[in-house]
Amino acid sequence: MSTVAKFKRIFSGIQPTGFPHLGNYLGAIRSWVKLQEQCDDVIYSVVDLHALTVPQDPLQLRDNIRNLTICLLACGVDPDKSIVFQQSKVLQHTGLYWLLSCRTPSSKLNTQTQWKTKSRTAQVGTPPLGLYSYPVLMAADILLYKASHVPVGDDQIQHLELTRDLAKSFNKLYGNVFPIPRPILGNVPRLRNLRYPDQKMSKSGEDSGRINLTDSPDIIRKKIRRSVTDSINAVTYDPASRPGISNLVETYAALQDSTVEKVCTAFSGKQTVDLKDKLVDLLVAHLIPIQRKMDQLSNDMTYVDNVLYDGCNKASNIAVVNYTEIEAVVGIS
């Protein structure tokens, strides 16, 4: 394997809240697969503790953890090249979360964009403490493994900046304990809702607005054909004035590892429906192999459980050593 030296250790996590959609795949999971070939020390976590910031049905959450693991494996995450594990099974995450919480100024958390947004839109009462301190747990996830790099989307950059600040503060007080993690920024724009292109593609909201990785060819065809564009029957890229068609152009480009300019050139003189039809073919070609692999894995849950079990052991081996060192410098060991 050819290792890129600058990536000493990569850590990233994904929440088991519903089945991943196309935006999750193109924005995160596919890059995870590629990073396995660029670094020999890669850790990916199903971050179930983060999912608890909103109420979860226990049975559904257990299924979601397994289903997400199946999805990651089917998309190409290789447990022989990456550590794949369930966050809550490594208890040192919560231990470091508390130690970092004791060093986190509330002023830092008050400025977090997601907290400000969700506290304003809370329907009943006030958001829970877990949602407020979510970024500290994220910092603990990263720093526990002394990760050098973290793949992040635009919406997580602020959280990673907090992680970097906490690592610097901790190091200033206790010595050079943590490396300062750096972001690995993806080059895929955030996909938009097919029905409401002014919104991001999300697991929440109506199903017609997103392409799920489990959608059949017929469902994909319906969703793409019904996706909102505009009255201009041409393929151009202008996210500000033509968000719907621009979203489809970005999706097509991302699936082909191409650029929006090349897609627009390829469809020059053609109609919007031509892009939609070709996008359906491209989506089906990408997703059918993944779906077949998911079906195989769903019939071999012993293997899936063993992946999580082995991943937990490997992650724990790293976490215990690092946390023991952290306890010592803090003075609680």
Q: Which residues are catalytic?
A: 118, 200, 203
Sheet holding 42-46, edge to edge: 83-86, 42-46, 10-14, 149-152, 182-185
Helix H or strand E segment including 212: none
Residue pair 181/138 in contact (Cβ under 8 Å)? The answer is no
DSSP type of residue 26: I
Please give the biggest Cα pair distance in the chain.
70
Distance between CA 242 and CA 236 in Å, rounded?
8
- The residue with tokens 């090249």 is 81
H helices within 82-156, ranges in order?
92-101, 106-110, 113-120, 129-144
CB 43 within 8 A of CB 315: yes
d(Cα 302, Cα 312) in Å, to the nearest integer? Answer: 15
DSSP per residue, 88-106: GGSTHHHHHHHHHHTT--H
Angle, vertex CA 273, rays to CA 269 and CA 275, nearest 5: 70
Residues with Cβ within 8 Å of 206's Cβ and at least 6 positions away in sequence, in order, are: 195
Q: What distance in Å separates the CA atoms of residue 256 and residue 243, rounded to the nearest whole number? A: 20
CA angle 212, 215, 218 (to 5 degrees): 140
Distance, CA of 228 to CA of 178 (rounded, Å): 47
